[in-house]
Structure 1
Amino acid sequence: MPEETENQSRVGRTIALLLILVALCLAVFVTWRIDAAPRTDDAYAYADTISVTPEVSGQIVELAVRDNQAVKRGDLLFKIDPRPFEASLAKAQATLTSLDREIELTQRSVNAQKLGAAAATASVERARAAAEQAADTLRRMEPLLGSEYVAAEQVDQARTAQRSAKAQLSAAVLDAQRATAGISGVDALVAKREVVKAEIALAELNLEYATVRAPFDGIVINLKTTAGQFAAAGHPVFTLANTTRWYVVANFRETELAHIKPGQSTQVYVLGQADKRFRGVVDSVGFGVFPDDGGADAAGLPHVPRSINWVRVAQRFPVRILVNAPDPTVFRIGASAVAIVTSDTASSSH
């Protein structure tokens, strides 16, 4: 009987040792598996979003979308009353037409002024020739004054003619200078024309801004207005999510980050349809989070709260995972997700 009890005790110890060994092996396997393929259910689906903001102010006369509607790139989102911008464009175009006529008329006047200046210059040459001729005549007659060939009266007449020709030359020079200075030109009007052309371009741009279209395929989010509402430039009307690129932002423990590198393949799924698995690739690994337990104020960093305060819990850092071939009917912004990082790289998974 004691021998049988001893055998049973030995068997029990053997079984216990085997169980402990199996548990240790299982623990080692689980630890290796976690290190080799980090996994987290602290993740959510995410897509790039923009605030649809008009560039001009005005009343919304047409709202072509509804909340949560899917749109394609180039689809009309809404239209602001274009009449003020059409009027501004028409006014600028009319100003340009009027200025062109003014430039044309002014150019004719300038041409006439140039012709007048040319005529005045010709008069100067004519007066200069007359003055030179009168001076030559006086020079020839003065040496003959003492002889009987030239009378004193003739010399006096030559002197008077020489002075008159000189005065006429001075007057002609002044007239030519006055005519040249009076040429106005159209440079100022041409410069003004460039200003009007810039006003036309701005008016055309504002008229184009009055029609707001989707810059990419997306989903309308948080639409809380309707036609008739006044839209102010720079103030968002609604949000548009880009459905061409979906991410899963997974918060991994800092002890796992050494096994996560950009380019690694992943498996992701959202809890709403856990039966559908999607392939992904690590796009980037976060390098900063807002510290919960004191520290400096690091504004602008992502906030990843810890779930337990009385024990030392590893901080979590966001890892952005780009989803390959996402199903837009499955993914929603903020949906809970699960991410598993595999050991292979994206290039080996394709």
Structure 2
Amino acid sequence: MTDQDDKVRLREVTRARSRPVELDAAEPASPHEKAGERPLETTAKPQSAGVDGYRRRVLLVLSSIVLALALYWASGYFVAYTDDAYVTSDFVDVAPYISGRIASVNVVDNQTVKKGELLATIDPTPFQLALNEKQAKKTEAEAQLAVDRDVIAAAQAKRDDAAAKEQLAADNLRRATPVAQAGFVSRQALETAATQAQEAKAALAEAEVAISKAQQELALHQATVATITAEIATVQWQLDQAKLLAPTDGTINQLMLRVGDQAVENQPLLGLVDAHAWRIYANYKESVIRHMTVGHAAWVWLDTYPWHIHRAKIQGIARAISREQTQRKLLPYVEPTTDWIRLERRFPVTLVLQDLPPEVVLHMGADARTLIVY
């Protein structure tokens, strides 16, 4: 046996002696270990760590939600935001005061016009003819006034002559009466003087009646002239209304008027968007209205000009809304439900834009979003 063999044998003996010690130090193998399964203790710890991590994530999400709700609730005491807002202005229905055929249309759709600018004309011929007729009647009535004045002058002259004759007859009767009583004048002469005095008095009364009648005729014809003058003014006004003028600065919208159309009195022919009445209507929840006052600063986002914030201020806050859609139209109605969910009542708040850049063109009915800081 060589030295090499001795070394190998010694190494094996050493291994054999150390093997029982390792078995004693190790824990006895469980049946699961004998079957090749993992021990229960080795799997329990990772599962516990996973449950704790899941709980932490759930708590984090719930805390975030609660914090977000708290911030949203608290923000109502500092700011108010709504996307239930839109741009509006005054829309003027241009309607004629007279009826007639459209003779000309002097504007095109979406044209910007100034106050007093000619929009369209109605055929003026019928009104011009009526005006000519009234003026002729007035001329005739005024000529009749001259005749009436001549009649009055003649009646007054006749009355003056009758008055002189009545005075003379009365004087003759007064002088003849004592003379007849003294026997110097016959009774027949006295009766003749009395008859002449009565006839002169009757003639004077008749002359007074003639003057009164002539004056009444003059007054009647003067009233006729006044009536015709009023009719002339009415027809002249109607003739002037044949020209449809812009009532304010603005933009023609949805022009459908054409030459030959029939205009009907007080029926709109075209629409005009007022250029000086632009504003924002924002519907805010009733819970935040109490924080707002007229003049409060606001910021507006226009959907027609995204990513631009415009300054505004509160012009007015509605004091009443309609609870039912069928009530009076003078009260605004704001729908309180969305997708079958009952929401808070909302009140319209009017905002006026401040220092709007000239290149910004507003569109009536466009959506907007508004933010008000208390």
Q: Same fold (TM over 0.5)?
A: yes
Greater relative contact order, per chain length (Cα 8 Å cut-off, separation 6+): 1
**Deviation at residue 90 of structure 1 after TM alignment:** 2.0
Letter in 1 for 2:234: L
- The 5 A counterparts of 1:158-169 are 158-169=186-197
What percentage of aligned pairs have identical amino acids? 25
Letter in 1 for 2:223: A
Structure 2, unpaired ranges of 5+: 1-45
Q: Which runs of 4+ in 1 moved over 3 A?
A: 9-35, 289-292, 325-329
Alignment match, 2:28 = none
Residue in structure 2 matching 1:126, options 168, 174, 187? 168
Q: 3-state DSSP class of the match of 1:67?
A: coil
Alignment of 1:270 onto 2:302:
yes
Figure out how many residues of one structure are paired with residues of the other and give that number. 320
Alignment match, 2:363 = 332
Alignment match, 2:348 = 318
Alignment match, 1:63 = 105
Give the TM-score of the pair, scaled to structure 2.
0.77
Letter in 2 for 1:104: A
Q: How far apart, in 2, do the equivalents of 1:33 and 1:110 lie?
A: 91
Give the TM-score of the pair, scaled to structure 1.
0.82
Residue in structure 2 matching 1:298, options 327, 346, 351? 327
**Deviation at residue 132 of structure 1 after TM alignment:** 1.9
CA RMSD of aligned residues (A): 3.0
> CA distance change for structure 1 residues 113 and 263 in 2, over 3 Å: closer, same or farther?
same
> CA distance change for structure 1 residues 254 and 328 in 2, over 3 Å: closer, same or farther?
farther
Q: How far apart, in 2, do the equivalents of 1:109 and 1:134 lie?
A: 37
**Deviation at residue 124 of structure 1 after TM alignment:** 0.5
Q: How far apart, in 2, do the equivalents of 1:98 and 1:262 lie?
A: 64
> CA distance change for structure 1 residues 325 and 199 in 2, over 3 Å: closer, same or farther?
farther
Alignment of 1:258 onto 2:286:
no
What are the Cα deviations for residues 292-338 of structure 1, in whole angstroms up to 9, with x where unaligned? 8xxxx5342434332231x4422333222222344585311111111
What are the Cα deviations for residues 9-68 of structure 1, in whole angstroms up to 9, with x where unaligned? 999999999998887666544443343221111111100112111001111111111122
Alignment match, 2:321 = 288
Alignment match, 2:210 = 182
Q: 3-state DSSP class of the match of 2:90?
A: strand
Q: How far apart, in 1, do the equivalents of 2:83 and 2:62 lie?
A: 30
Letter in 1 for 2:260: G
Q: How far apart, in 1, do the equivalents of 2:197 and 2:366 lie?
A: 97
Alignment match, 1:150 = none
Letter in 1 for 2:321: G
What are the Cα deviations for residues 160-216 of structure 1, in whole angstroms up to 9, with x where unaligned? 211111111111111111111111111111122211121111112111211111111
Q: How far apart, in 2, do the equivalents of 1:325 and 1:120 lie?
A: 87
- The 5 A counterparts of 1:241-252 are 241-252=273-284
Higher gyration radius (CA): 2
**Deviation at residue 109 of structure 1 after TM alignment:** 1.1
**Deviation at residue 133 of structure 1 after TM alignment:** 2.1
Alignment of 1:44 onto 2:86:
yes
Letter in 2 for 1:213: L
Is the contact between residue 290 and residue 299 of structure 1 (CA under 8 Å) also seen in structure 2? no
